[in-house]
Amino acid sequence: MSYRRRVVDELLDELFPDLAAIALEGAKGVGKTATALQRAETVISLDLPAQREVIAADLDYVARAAPPVFIDEWQLHPAVWDRVRRAVDEDPRGGRFLLAGSAGVAPGTRIHSGAGRIVSLAMRPLSFAERGLAEPTVSLSDLLTGSRPKIIGRSGVGLTTYVDEILASGFPGIRDLPERARTVQLDSYIARIVDRDLPESGLSVRRPGAVRAWLAAYAAATSTDAAYTKILDAATAGVVDKPSRATVDNYREHLRRIFVLDPVEAWVPMFNPLKRLTHSPKHHLVDPALAARLVGVGKAGLLQGAGDRVAAPTGTWVGALFESLVAQSVRVCSSAASAQVGHLRTKETDHEIDLIVEGEDRRAVAIEVKLSESISDKDVRHLNWLHQQIGDRLADRVIITTGEHAFRRPDGVAVVPLALLGP
């Protein structure tokens, strides 16, 4: 299978010649290894016991090997991280080391942060733009400039295809499989999280069923900022012997450490003219296909509005999954502009915006997600409210749809089908 170029490749092209060591971080299956192999001269795979033994016996080998040296699953032998850090101190020339990790180090393991020596880049599943279904005509980086770029383009992608893409996942090794095989692989991915990945990350899983129930309840809270107590209540409905809050917090900590949970944090503007904003994250799994499998609704059910949700007074399950797909795609595209992504909600819940992309100059793009082909004035009211509050600090206002055309409304809001949004 030929390699499918990713947004992170543009960053690597720009940065790796000048930086000695870069770590690619993300959940298993997002494509870190395939991306790093495009640039590696020497490959060290620490998920192979024999190679771990060799490196444990001769840690200096990583500094002697022909560069670029790619060290896969480095967290399985954390001493490698510190040896790479020392090698960079000894010789800071660019393009020497690529590391990939699908988890942080286990609790209690002490390593240097790598600050100033090893740069971390996040990798997520394929954004919609990376899947090759349409040619993007709207650049998120251009929107962040505040130049109000022209918004044009026509998409042939409709709701049915978006649902297909939600269920197919953005995992490169899974999405192109036949439907039945893909479903089995996604179910196996979920089972592995509970049975292998969490124990390997240092969590003693005494009640696998309780972990899976909590994960399914978290999935049902996708695209909400539901309180963790509500998620626990949903996971343990009718259960007398409930896990303790500390136990559930432990689940959450470890699931984030292996990048399975990928919440969008609340946006808190540095200049802070906005008051009474919530600080709760918005819940997302690393890929909405996992959420769809955990909740157990297929294509027909999604298109008919089926699917239980946690603490979501409005909206449909397919709408929540579409927002999660948009969030995943926007976060991948934002990495090209070194931008951060959050969400906004006032404590009175009278204003909320699904995604806020903030660039290096603190200018922001506000994004609303609408599972619809058409947009009304009501749909853009929160975007226009934010513009009134912060003025030119808001570089652009965007509403992402399942529609056909990209255009600017008379009020200046950009209407962009997801298929036409790129980095």
H helix count then E strand count, the chain: 17, 13
Contact 205, 324 (CB under 8 A): no
**In order of start, what are the domains of the chain with their CATH numbers?**
7-122 (3.40.50.300), 126-423 (no CATH)
What are the DSSP E strand ranges found in 274-374? 340-345, 352-358, 364-369
Phi then psi for 33, rounded to 5 degrees? -65, -45
pLDDT per residue as tens digits for the range 137-173? 999 999 999 999 999 999 999 999 999 999 999 999 9
Q: What is the pLDDT of residue 45?
A: 97
Helices within 123-207 (DSSP H only): 140-144, 159-168, 172-175, 179-192, 198-200
| DSSP 8-state symbol, 169 | -
SS3 per-residue string spanning 36-48: HHCCCCEEEECCC
Q: What is the pLDDT of residue 203?
A: 87
174 SS3 class: helix
Instruction: Give CA–CA dist 405/402, Å, rounded.
Output: 9
Structure tokens at 29: 């299956």
Amino acid in the structure at residue 27 = A
Instruction: Give CA–CA dist 169/221, Å, rounded.
Output: 18
Contact 129, 421 (CB under 8 A): yes
Q: Could you say which residues of the chain have pLDDT below 50?
A: none
Q: What is the pLDDT of residue 286?
A: 98
Helix, strand, coil percentages for the chain (3-state, nearest 5): 40, 15, 45
Instruction: Give CA–CA dist 371/320, Å, rounded.
Output: 9
Instruction: Give CA–CA dist 33/70, Å, rounded.
Output: 9
- The residues, any chain, with a CB within 8 Å of residue 86's CB and separated by 6 or more, are 63
How far CA 40 is from CA of 3, 34, 44, 65, 120, in Å, comes to: 14, 10, 10, 11, 17
122 SS3 class: strand
Q: What is the pLDDT of residue 112?
A: 55
